[in-house]
Amino acid sequence: MGVFTMKCSTLSTNVKNSNQAYIHIMEQRTEISDLGEFGLIDHLTKNIELQNASSLLGVGDDAAVIDHFGKQTVITTDLLVEGVHFDLAYTPLKHLGYKSVVVNLSDIYAMNATPTQIVLSIAFSNRFSLEALDEFYEGVYAACRNYGVDLIGGDTSTSQKGFIISVTAMGEVAPDKFVKRDGAKKGDLICVSGDLGGAYVGLLFLEREKRIFMESPGVQPDLENETYVIGRLLKPEARKEIIEFLADAEITPTSMMDISDGLSSDILHLCKNSQLGCVLYEEKLPIAEEMRNAAFKFEIDPTACALSGGEDYELLFTIAQEDYDKIVLREDISVVGYMTEAEAGQHIITKGGSKHAITAQGWNHLKK
């Protein structure tokens, strides 16, 4: 398993140090077979501390037991496959563990719910040592601590090739307060949290540097100035604070989802489910200056990155127009357009005033 050490010193969990740690792990290798399946599970879960009253019984029995005390339960699951969803040539295992949890918690928040528990299952080949799995689980536990979520179970298995990760996340929401994709109304405002396109541009840099490394292994890439976009890819965050703000402001979105495949693809999902059209405004799209400058280095349009780049894990939601005054001063929420009747279609208005149909150009893992 080849990794290159990246000079990128200010990521929250330092990429350079993580890769160096992984190289150190390879030097101090404990074979998984020395522990056996139950010994491995005991080792990986020995430090679990339950944080939620709803987690009645966690790891150690045939099944976990949870009780949400009259609240409704929200459940989601995600599968991450090496070579399809991540590349270990430039993804530190600690970051991968963190991201594996966060992408599922993002789906829970996108239902206007609070995540409380996860179940994690992994399959791995004999390339992986016990120390490598410890590094992965460090990231898992870091995410659980940050979001107040309990790891309550899972499974391990061998894989003929590569690393496979399956996470199921559970959450709770007050009765009938969950938000679906099909509730938008004509005239509703379209809102986006944070900024868009950074993860996609970060991926472009890492793929470029991987190619350089494969051709010239002695050349160590310097990504010091691209910390922001690389961090957006390797260590995304779920937008817990947005859901908390909406609750405090007494705003219930009419529809919502997280942006995992790109804004252009995901707004079309909202339109389809709500049987509506939409208008987006290019000038309203939230674009970080770091992403804009990075995109220019590849001679690509930042707007295209914001529309089609995946894995931002920001929230896309609609609100009634009367709630606008409640969000207008919130800097990490942008109103990017509005919903229209279905017959009007789905369009974006450019800065120059041109009108173009929105097409689904986001990431599709089923495409070859």
Q: Which residues of 8-29 are buried (b: 16+ CB within 10 A; e: fewer)?
A: beebebbbbebbebbeebeeee
Q: How many angstroms separate the CA atoms of 51 and 61, rounded?
A: 18
Say what the pLDDT of residue 27 is: 61
Structure tokens given for 52: 């939620």
Q: Is the distance from CB of 162 to CB of 84 less than 8 angstroms?
A: no
Q: Could you tell me the sign of the dihedral formed by the alpha carbons of 124, 130, 132, 136, in that order?
A: positive
Say whether 189-357 and 30-173 share the same fold.
no
CA 129 to chain centre: 26
Q: What is the pLDDT along the chain (368 residues), one digit of tens a residue?
A: 445 544 433 344 344 444 454 444 456 777 767 666 656 667 666 777 778 888 776 665 555 677 778 888 999 989 999 999 999 999 999 999 999 999 999 999 999 999 999 999 999 999 999 999 999 999 999 999 999 999 999 999 999 889 999 999 999 999 889 999 999 999 999 999 999 999 999 999 999 999 998 888 887 777 878 999 999 999 999 999 999 999 999 999 999 999 999 999 999 999 999 999 999 999 999 999 999 999 999 999 999 999 999 999 999 999 999 999 999 999 999 999 999 999 999 999 999 999 999 998 754 443 54
Say what the pLDDT of residue 362 is: 53
Q: Which 3 state secondary structure label does DSSP give 48?
A: coil
Say what the pLDDT of residue 224 is: 77
The H or E element containing residue 108 is helix 93-109
DSSP secondary structure of 50-76: ---TTEEE-BTBSS-EE--TTPEEEEE
- Name 151's bridge partners: 118
Q: How many angstroms separate the CA atoms of 206 and 300, rounded?
A: 16
Q: How many angstroms separate the CA atoms of 129 and 119, rounded?
A: 22
Say what the pLDDT of residue 223 is: 82
Structure tokens given for 232: 């957006």
Say what the pLDDT of residue 13 is: 39
Q: How many angstroms separate the CA atoms of 308 and 203, rounded?
A: 13
The verdict on pTM exceeding 0.75 is yes
CATH code for the domain defined by 30-173: 3.30.1330.10
Say what the pLDDT of residue 43 is: 66
CA 342 to chain centre: 30
Q: How many CB atoms lie within 10 A of CB 74?
A: 22
Q: Where in the chain are the domains?
A: 30-173, 189-357
CATH code for the domain defined by 189-357: 3.90.650.10
> Which has the closest alpha carbon to 146: 184, 111, 98?
98
